[in-house]
Amino acid sequence: MIEPDLTEEARRLFAGRVEFLKSAPALKFLPEPDLPEIAFCGRSNVGKSSLLNALAGRKSIARASVTPGRTQELNFFEVGDPVVVRLVDMPGYGFAKAPLKIVEQWRRLIRDYLRGRQVLKRTLLLVDSRHGIKSVDAEMMKMLDESAVGYRIVLTKADKVKASELEDVIQRTEAEARKHPAAYPQLHVTSADTKLGMEELRAAVLADAQL
Ligand code: GDP
């Protein structure tokens, strides 16, 4: 349970300063590890940019959709003044046609970041409500399981499926989450369009940042 006080604090926090800090194409470009980080990952097109924008209550802090050639970077955003947490937009995965070399680069960057980043408090794994957990997500969960950082599963685009289908994907995804000790047992069901689940997710991010 998230406390009402925290919900209000989170609302105020995200209504304030949220700004792009930098892109890191390799570990040596990461910001100083002096503030808590919460990372967001998921398949390309899962709705990650839209979710980040909805969390921040604005239209374009995160670029919606992929900019060619800039897909293999960790993008950092700062929240709060003074900064309370950094949000880390991880490169989307699951391009059907990505060359092996790019996939390998992606894997190395993500794995090294997840393993070595002491200020990383939690990762949010975004899963499209229409699709549920796919094999590429399962691969990501494996990397997360090995990283010793807990993760939350966030269903995106909940407005795109019927209530009965949503119930079904929630059941299936929760059953899958229970098999992963590093996965938080409760899902977040969200829509960037209707803002479903945003208040709770902001509070969860703040709670995780305070871990
Ligand atoms: P990213 O590649 O993961 O950053 O995904 P984007 O945020 O660019 O979203 C991919 C597509 O899904 C875009 O066409 C968005 O408009 C759409 N989309 C994202 N979130 C939602 C949502 O909550 N509801 C609906 N209906 N569409 C969404």
| Domains in the chain with CATH codes | 4-209 (3.40.50.300)
φ, ψ for residue 66, nearest 5 deg: -85, 135
Which among 50, 75, 137 is the best mutation to test ligand 1's pocket, defined by most ligand atoms within 8 Å of the CB? 50
Distance 46 CA to ligand 1 centre (A): 6
pLDDT (tens, 9 = 90+) of the chain, 211 residues, equals 667 789 999 999 999 999 999 999 899 999 999 999 999 999 999 999 999 999 999 877 766 444 555 568 899 999 999 999 999 999 999 876 778 888 888 889 999 999 989 999 999 999 999 999 999 999 999 999 999 889 999 999 999 999 999 999 999 999 999 999 999 989 999 999 999 999 999 999 999 999 9
Going by alpha carbons, the residue nearest to atom 28 of ligand 1 is 157
Helices (H), the chain: 4-15, 48-55, 100-116, 135-147, 163-178, 198-209
List ligand 1's pocket residues with C-beta within 6 A. 42, 44-50, 64-66, 92, 156-157, 159-160, 191-193
Atom 8 (ligand 1): residue with closest C-alpha? 65
CA of 131 to the centre of ligand 1 (A): 14
pTM, entire model: 0.94
